[in-house]
Structure 1
Amino acid sequence: MDCSIALALMLRGAAPADLVGAACPAAVVRVAEGRTATDPISHEPFYAGLVQDANALRAETQDFNKAPTLALRATPRFQTYLQRLQNLSAGDLKGHVDLKKRGTDRDLKCILLGVSRDIANKVNDLKSAASDADLAQALTNTDLLLRDNIDVIVTPDTVDSGLDCVAEFGKDA
């Protein structure tokens, strides 16, 4: 099976182990299984912590999305979950600041700023859902963003896209 087909199937719910028989590079399989980060920065304790937190939040998001109901939002577990999302958002912003201080031109510094802001928006969506269906959609969107949060940290840069944080997010970025 072609690797791109296997990856597409995995994104639709197939197990990462299904990639093993595909023509996927070993690094792709390891990342899909959550075993190995491939970008050197993801091995630094701070960034590894962001990945670990996002993985844990993804699992919790998926658990909540098994039976989404507005009553869920009043539970202490959900309130703690929202706080943990806000903490991840703050961590991503801290990562942006760290990379900016290092003087890196890597896209990751801009992406972390954007993800940080997007997580804050997802928290608002979770809080303001008007129906069980709205909450389910907000949880799905949060899950996708958390996956992206992990991917941008563990996936090595292949090219510098030239993303300009200032043009994208303003003079304080």
Structure 2
Amino acid sequence: MSCALALAVALMLADPAVAEAAAQPPMDPAAPVSVAHEPLFADLAARSGALKAVVDGWIASGEADRAGFFAGAAFGAFKDQAADLARRDLQGHLALKERGTDNDLKCILRGISEDIPVKIAALEAAPDAAERKLALDELAYLLNDNVEVITSPPRPAA
């Protein structure tokens, strides 16, 4: 068998993903690295996503407008889970701070940890259905933001 024929067969049987990977430019070691795969941050995204689903359910059903909603077990459990998420977001902030990272995620996690209790309090204090809807929308947005800042690919500093 000639060398040209052997090379042609080898190329036909080769995995194209290997060639694609080889064609990629080398990674810059100074480029920011995603933390979404790390257990702490994956847990934050999962917890926040689950709480957002609860809030979305309340928005769709109007549950928060029912009498006794805030005294109920469902809201009490949600409030406890949201407070736990806020504490864990602060842990994420502190973990990134310990690493010496100087990126937006570190600051955003701290801000979210401070904003969650504020949004819960605004929901509880809302005097009417329109204000509760606004408070729920803002809480859903914050919880979604918590997921997206963790799962979005990091961008290099400008």
Instruction: Pick the TM interval, shorter chain.
Output: 0.7 to 0.9
SS at match of 1:137: helix
Task: Identify the residue that residue 101 of structure 2 maps to in structure 1.
Answer: 104
Corresponding position: 1:158 with 2:123: no
Report the alpha carbon displacement of residue 70 of structure 1 after superposing the two structures with TM: 5.3
For the 8 Å contact 1:57–1:81, the answer to whether it is kept is yes
Corresponding position: 1:50 with 2:48: no
Structure 1 vs Structure 2 CA RMSD: 1.4
For the 8 Å contact 2:34–2:154, the answer to whether it is kept is no
**Unaligned stretches of 5+ in structure 2?**
1-32
For the 8 Å contact 1:70–1:132, the answer to whether it is kept is no
- Tell me, in whole angstroms, the C-alpha distance in 2 between the residues paired with 1:131 and 1:70: 11
Corresponding position: 1:69 with 2:62: no
TM-score, length basis structure 2 = 0.73
Query: What amino acid is the match of 1:58?
Result: K
For the 8 Å contact 1:100–1:109, the answer to whether it is kept is yes
Q: Following superposition of structure 1 onto structure 2, how do residues 22-61 of structure 1 map, counting pairs within 5 Å?
A: 40-61=34-55
Could you say if the C-alpha distance between residues 117 and 70 of structure 1 is closer, same or farther in structure 2, counting changes exceeding 3 Å?
farther
Runs of 4+ deviating beyond 2 Å: none
Task: Identify the residue that residue 143 of structure 1 maps to in structure 2.
Answer: 140
Report the alpha carbon displacement of residue 159 of structure 1 after superposing the two structures with TM: 2.7
Q: Which has the larger radius of gyration?
A: 2
Report the alpha carbon displacement of residue 43 of structure 1 after superposing the two structures with TM: 0.6
If asked which structure has higher relative contact order (CA below 8 Å, sep 6+), I would say 2
- Tell me, in whole angstroms, the C-alpha distance in 2 between the residues paired with 1:70 and 1:145: 23
Q: Percent identity?
A: 37
- Tell me, in whole angstroms, the C-alpha distance in 2 between the residues paired with 1:56 and 1:120: 17
Task: Identify the residue that residue 120 of structure 1 maps to in structure 2.
Answer: 117
SS at match of 2:97: helix
